[in-house]
């Protein structure tokens, strides 16, 4: 039985990972910013398992909230095996139009959020002489899709800082991994898309409307979190033997294989836009 902290477990992939870990009889510290809206399914499985799993309040954008949550968890257990930085937010807009405030908003959750949890747990991991950090990044780190510059930057920054610091902490028995997936059927992108209206006068109208169609297609074809949680669990189960980079799901592998096959230069110099045109040709 592993003891696992997961951020952003109120819905989507985080909820799926929490339920998978509970199914495997792990002890889960399911963190979420609004504990009052904790899903009934999660509450009932936690109470059924009766193994010390609990729901913990944590807003990853606030230093004090993260530290208080980690303190509370460590008051309830003397060790933690795994921390999964899953909580995340999304942004899609042409780079020129993306405000600094929007970029900061995305970084606050997707980049500084995981940094807060990692820095809060590392003293405990060093004391134990083991621990595994798993960051949820995205195939966007490899694909660098247009229209997602802020989102891609936040996940790429997380990837960079994690790879760098992983070489500092491995002497202390601590491993770091990234799980990267493609589009998953959650509220993340659809909720963001609801705020968007296409403007034909925009200088970026052509790519904006292509991305609108691409999102509709990807959302329609997306697999539910339950279809990737087995693969994510393999990374959790591997612990210190897990690889750093773990593409999860066929869509992530499709994009990463396409880059490897065609070469990054081809991909960024128009090749990706052609693949996208091909994917949306019937729309
Ligand atoms: N869905 C995809 O296509 C996709 C693809 C690649 C990578 N990802 C990554 O997968 C992870 C999970 O996303 P998802 O698709 O499951 O999205 P989701 O269904 O929208 O879930 C996001 C989770 O993050 C939580 N969260 C957001 N801001 C937070 C904050 N400040 N503090 C604490 N929790 C916060 C949300 O809580 P609330 O319920 O309170 O909002 C929710 O539990 C993210 O890191 C995302 O970038 C998703």
What's the gap in Å between 270 CA and the centre of ligand 1?
A: 30
Q: Of 78, 77, 57, 76, which is closest to residue 67 (Cα–Cα)?
A: 57
Q: What is the pLDDT of residue 153?
A: 98
Tell the residue nearest (CA) to atom 1 of ligand 1.
Answer: 184
pTM recorded for the entire structure = 0.97
Q: Which atom of ligand 1 is nearest to the CA of 155?
A: 47
What's the gap in Å between 154 CA and the centre of ligand 1?
A: 13
Written as tens digits, the pLDDT of the chain (283 aa) is 999 999 999 999 999 999 999 999 999 999 999 999 999 999 999 999 999 999 999 999 999 999 999 999 999 999 999 999 999 999 999 999 999 999 999 999 999 999 999 999 999 999 999 999 999 999 999 999 999 999 999 999 999 999 999 999 999 999 999 999 999 999 999 999 999 899 999 999 999 999 999 999 999 999 999 999 999 999 999 999 999 999 999 999 999 999 989 998 988 898 898 889 999 998 8
Tell the residue nearest (CA) to atom 36 of ligand 1.
Answer: 8
Percent of the chain as helix, strand, coil, to the nearest 5 = 60, 15, 30
Say if residue 238 is exposed, middle or buried (CB neighbours under 10 Å; 0-12, 13-18, 19+). Answer: middle
- Alpha carbon distance 32, 34 (integer Å): 6
| Beta-bridge mates of residue 27 | 3
Tell the residue nearest (CA) to atom 8 of ligand 1.
Answer: 138
What's the gap in Å between 250 CA and the centre of ligand 1?
A: 20
Q: Which atom of ligand 1 is nearest to the CA of 137?
A: 7
Q: Within 6 Å (CB) of ligand 1, which residues are found?
A: 7-8, 10-14, 32-34, 58-61, 86-89, 109, 136, 138, 181, 183-184, 186-189
Q: Which atom of ligand 1 is nearest to the CA of 90?
A: 47
What's the gap in Å between 203 CA and the centre of ligand 1?
A: 30
CB 110 within 8 Å of CB 178 = no
Q: Which domains does the chain have, with CATH numbers?
A: 3-185+223-250 (3.40.50.720)
| Beta-bridge mates of residue 85 | 135
Q: Which atom of ligand 1 is nearest to the CA of 8?
A: 43
What's the gap in Å between 172 CA and the centre of ligand 1?
A: 30
């Amino acid at each position: 039985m592993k003891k696992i902290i997961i951020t952003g477990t109120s819905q989507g992939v985080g909820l799926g990972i929490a339920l998978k870990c509970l199914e495997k009889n792990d002890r889960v510290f399911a963190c979420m910013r609004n504990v009052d809206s904790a899903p009934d399914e999660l509450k009932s499985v936690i109470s059924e398992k009766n193994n010390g799993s609990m729901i913990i309040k944590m807003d990853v954008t606030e230093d004090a909230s993260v530290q208080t949550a980690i303190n509370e968890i460590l008051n309830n257990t003397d060790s933690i095996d795994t921390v999964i930085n899953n909580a995340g937010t999304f942004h899609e807009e042409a780079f020129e139009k993306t405000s600094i405030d929007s970029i900061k908003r995305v970084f606050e959750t997707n980049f500084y959020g995981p940094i807060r949890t990692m820095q809060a747990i590392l003293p405990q991991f060093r004391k134990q002489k083991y621990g595994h950090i798993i960051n949820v990044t995205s195939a966007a780190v490899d694909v660098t899709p247009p229209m997602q510059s802020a989102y891609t930057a936040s996940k790429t920054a997380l990837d960079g800082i994690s790879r760098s610091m992983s070489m500092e902490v491995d002497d202390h028995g601590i491993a770091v991994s990234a799980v990267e997936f493609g589009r998953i059927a959650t509220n993340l992108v659809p909720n963001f898309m609801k705020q968007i209206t296409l403007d034909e006068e925009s200088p970026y109208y052509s790519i904006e409307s292509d991305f609108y169609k691409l999102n509709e297609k990807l959302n329609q074809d997306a697999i539910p979190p339950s279809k990737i949680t087995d693969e994510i669990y393999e990374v959790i189960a591997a612990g210190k033997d897990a690889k750093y980079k773990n593409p999860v799901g066929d869509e992530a592998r499709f994009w990463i294989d396409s880059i490897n096959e065609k070469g990054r230069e081809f991909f960024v110099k128009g090749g990706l836009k052609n693949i996208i045109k091909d994917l949306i040709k019937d729309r």
